[in-house]
Amino acid sequence: MSISTGCPVIWIPLFRINDTVSIYADFMLLIVAILWGSTFVATKASLSFLSPLYILAVRFLIAFGIMFVLFWKKVKIAKKDDLLGGFIVGTAIFFAFLTQTIGLIFTTAGKQAFLAGTYVVIVPFLYWIIYKKRPDKRSFLGATICFIGISLLTLDSSFQISFGDSLTMFSSLLFAAHIISNGYFVERMDAIVLTIIQFGVAGVWSLSAALIFEPIPVNIPLEGVMSVLYLAVFGTCIAYFMQTVAQKNTLSTHAAIIMSMEAIFGSIFSIILLKEAFTIKMVAGCVAILASILIIELKGKSN
């Protein structure tokens, strides 16, 4: 899942903005898009062996542990306000991933890959509600095209939306709320500290809820263990690190286009690895949603 607003910015002195570096940075973002696209399939696979809350607990706690070890000097000087900000943002991302993961039980990974990306379209309108800043015409155009795409992708012959698709779209709303809250706090505290704390908070929420509502997993096969480890290490730690380094050294327009390919890779992996089928109507819906995401992502980005 691509969550770019407020991600930690890690500066490596070797990097400079030039053509060669930009090419390497764009390639890194392509890898990030591939990794995030693959997480939909990895999560779907993990659900065959683990319940949603335990998947999230392992994913976030391992990600927290790795980043804490790498940046513990920053965390140890965190202030009370930093903990509060991390708690709020971490709670938001916990509920966003929880509804998305549960939704994946009842829908396909390929469909969710595109539906999950609609948070990009939701953000300007949620921002409008909170800050009274009206979205521009491109936002309304993107929202209209996105609505058409969602209808094509999710509505069945009786014009009903499945429970899984409904949960996924609700999770997109929560991801939009996470982006806005993350953007608010990242202006007031260290971005790396915010990311680490929110991972820790999400992990604690997940584990606490899992111990209450879900049975403790036993006899987890190697495939299940590897799926969750992949989500934690590659889908979270490595992907976030590569994204922040790359976005520091490439054009924002490049980043927007490349990272929107997350949905495409998610569908490709679901077709190849999970043998999921796509109808012409579903493909048309995916194209419309991708177009709406690009319209929103690229508006006003000229550098």
pLDDT confidence of 157, banded at 50, 70, 90?
Answer: low
Q: Which has the higher per-residue pLDDT, 157 or 150?
A: 150
* Cα 255-257-263 angle, rounded to 5 deg: 110
In three-state secondary structure terms, 16 is coil
Tokens 């690229």 identify what position?
298
CA distance 202 to 262: 23
Cβ pair 49, 221 in contact under 8 A: yes
pLDDT confidence of 9, banded at 50, 70, 90?
Answer: very low
- The pLDDT assigned to 292 comes to 86
pLDDT tens for each residue of 103-112: 999 999 989 9
- What would the 3-class secondary structure string for 42-67 be? HHHHHCCCCCHHHHHHHHHHHHHHHH
CA–centroid distance for 298 within its chain: 18
pLDDT at 156 over 90: no
pLDDT tens for each residue of 67-101: 999 989 988 888 888 999 999 999 999 999 999 99
pLDDT confidence of 190, banded at 50, 70, 90?
Answer: confident
pLDDT confidence of 159, banded at 50, 70, 90?
Answer: low
Q: Which has the higher per-residue pLDDT, 254 or 57?
A: 57
pLDDT at 299 over 80: no
CA distance 126 to 282: 27
pLDDT confidence of 174, banded at 50, 70, 90?
Answer: very high
Cβ pair 131, 184 in contact under 8 A: no
CA distance 206 to 16: 40
Q: Give the global pTM.
A: 0.83
Average pLDDT, the chain: 84
Q: What is the DSSP letter of 216?
A: P
CA distance 147 to 125: 14
Kindly state the tokens that stand for 116. 């999950």
- The pLDDT assigned to 295 comes to 84
pLDDT confidence of 6, banded at 50, 70, 90?
Answer: very low
Kindly state the tokens that stand for 244. 């922040």
Q: Which of 178-192, 208-222, 243-257 has the lowest mean pLDDT?
A: 243-257
Nearest to 148 by CA among 256, 277, 292: 292
Which percentage of the chain shows pLDDT scores above 70?
87
pLDDT at 251 over 90: no
Range ranked top by mean pLDDT from 120-129, 236-245, 251-260: 120-129
Could you give the C-alpha distances from 79 to 83, 88, 188, 190, 277, in angstroms and in order? 7, 15, 11, 10, 50
pLDDT confidence of 155, banded at 50, 70, 90?
Answer: confident
Taking residues 20-44, what's their average pLDDT? Answer: 87
pLDDT confidence of 278, banded at 50, 70, 90?
Answer: confident
Q: What type of residue sits at position 130?
A: I
Q: Which has the higher per-residue pLDDT, 158 or 280?
A: 280
pLDDT at 136 over 90: no
- The pLDDT assigned to 303 comes to 45
Taking residues 121-132, what's their average pLDDT? Answer: 85
pLDDT at 200 over 50: yes
Q: How far apart are the first and last CA of the chain?
A: 24
Question: Read out DSSP for 21-43?
Answer: HHHHHHHHHHHHHHHHHHHHHHH
CA distance 188 to 25: 27
CA distance 79 to 287: 45
Q: What is the DSSP letter of 298?
A: H
CA–centroid distance for 283 within its chain: 22
Q: Which has the higher per-residue pLDDT, 71 or 250?
A: 71
Nearest to 120 by CA among 297, 299, 243: 297
Helix, strand, coil fractions of the chain, as percent rounded to 5: 75, 0, 25
Taking residues 173-177, what's their average pLDDT? Answer: 90
